[in-house]
Amino acid sequence: MKPERKSFTAIVSCLLIIFISVQSCSGIKTEKPSDVKWDKVGPGGGGAIFIPTFSSINPDRFLLRCDMTGTYLTKDGGASYSQINFAGGASSFAWDPIDSNIVYVGSSSLNRSADEGKTWEQIFPAKDEVISQLFIGDHADFSLEVSPGSLYPSGSGKISAIRVDPVKPGRIYFTMGRYFFYTSDSGKSWKRESLEHSPGFIYTNKSILKDDVYIFTPSSVYLFNKTSQKISRKELPEAMSPAFSFTGGTEAKTGKVIFYALHHDQSEAIQDEFGHSELWMSDDCGNSWKHVLNPVVTNEIAGIKPSFSMVACAESDAGQAYLISNRYEEKKKEKGFIYWYGAFKTGDAGNSWEWVWKGGGGSGQYAVKDGIGVSNLKDAWAEEAFGGEYIRLMDAGVAPSDGNIAIVTDWYRTMKTTDGGKSWNEIYSKKQPDGTFISRGLDVTTSYGVHFDPFDSSHIAISYTDIGYHHSFNGGKSWARSADGIPAAWVNTCYWMVFDPDIKGKVWSAWSYLHDFPRGKMTRNPKWKEVGKGGVCLSVDGGKTWKPSIDGLGSDSPATSIVLDPESAPGNRTLYASVYSKGVFKSTDDGKTWQLKNKGIEENTCAFELTLTEKGVLFLTVSATPEHKDGKKGMSFYSGAVYRSSDGAETWIKLNVANGNIFPNGIDYDRKNPDRIYLGCWADIELSDLVGGDVVRANGGNKPIDMPGGIFLSEDGGDTWRSIFDDNQYVYDVTVDPYHPGRVYCCTFNQAAYLSNDYGKSWKKIKGYDFHWGHRIVIDQNNPDKIYITTFGSSVWHGVAVTE
* Model pLDDT for residues 292-302, shown as the tens digit of each residue: 999 999 999 99
With 0-12 / 13-18 / 19 or more C-beta atoms within 10 angstroms meaning exposed / middle / buried, residue 672 is exposed
Provide the pLDDT for residue 333: 83
Alpha-carbon distance values, 452 to 100, 405, 496, 507, 549 (Å): 44, 42, 12, 11, 22
Provide the pLDDT for residue 21: 38
* Average pLDDT score over residue span 56-79: 96
Average pLDDT of the chain is 93
Q: Is residue 116 a contact partner of residue 101, using CB atoms and an 8 Å limit?
A: yes
Measuring CA to CA, which residue among 775, 778, 769, 763 is closest to residue 723?
A: 763
3-class DSSP assignment, residue 384: helix
* Average pLDDT score over residue span 464-477: 96
Distance of CA 627 to the CA centre of its chain: 27
Residues 514-549 as b/e (b if ≥16 CB within 10 A, e otherwise) read: bebbbbbebbbebebbeebbbbbbbbeebbeebebb
Identify residue 40 by its one-letter amino acid code. K
Three-state secondary structure string covering 701-730: CCCECCCCCEEEEECCCCCCCEECCCCCCC
Give per-residue pLDDT as tens, 372-397: 999 999 999 999 999 999 999 999 99
Of the two residues 240 and 31, the one the predictor is more confident about is 240
Measuring CA to CA, which residue among 276, 270, 271 is closest to residue 302?
A: 276
DSSP secondary structure letter of residue 550: -
Separation CA 114–CA 187 (nearest Å): 13
pLDDT of 19 over the 80 cut: no
Percent of the chain with pLDDT over 70: 96
| Least confident stretch, 266-280, 317-331, 770-784 | 266-280
Provide the pLDDT for residue 464: 97
* Average pLDDT score over residue span 80-104: 96
Q: How confident is the model at residue 10 (pLDDT cuts 50, 70, 90)?
A: very low
Provide the pLDDT for residue 269: 81
* Average pLDDT score over residue span 463-478: 96
pLDDT of 72 over the 50 cut: yes
Separation CA 460–CA 436 (nearest Å): 14
Give per-residue pLDDT as tens, 497-531: 999 999 999 999 999 999 999 999 999 999 999 99
Identify residue 441 by its one-letter amino acid code. G
Q: How confident is the model at residue 271 (pLDDT cuts 50, 70, 90)?
A: confident
Separation CA 252–CA 348 (nearest Å): 10
Give per-residue pLDDT as tens, 693-739: 999 999 999 999 999 999 999 999 999 999 999 999 999 999 999 99
Count Cα neighbours of 709 within 13 Å in the Cβ-side half-sphere.
24
Long-range contacts, 761-766 (Cβ 8 Å, 24+): 761/724, 763/725, 764/803, 764/804, 765/803, 765/804, 766/801, 766/802, 766/803, 766/804
Q: Which helix (H) or strand (E) holds 495?
A: strand 493-499
Give per-residue pLDDT as tens, 551-590: 999 999 999 999 999 999 999 999 999 999 999 999 999 9
* Average pLDDT score over residue span 359-373: 92
Provide the pLDDT for residue 35: 65
Separation CA 369–CA 374 (nearest Å): 13
Separation CA 168–CA 560 (nearest Å): 56
Residues contacting 372, CB < 8 A, separation 6+:
359, 360, 361, 362, 387, 388
Identify residue 179 by its one-letter amino acid code. Y
Provide the pLDDT for residue 340: 96
Provide the pLDDT for residue 651: 98
List, in sequence order, every beta strand (DSSP E) within 363-492: 377-378, 393-398, 406-410, 414-417, 424-426, 429-431, 437-439, 447-452, 460-464, 469-472, 480-481
Q: How confident is the model at residue 367 (pLDDT cuts 50, 70, 90)?
A: confident
Q: How confident is the model at residue 1 (pLDDT cuts 50, 70, 90)?
A: very low
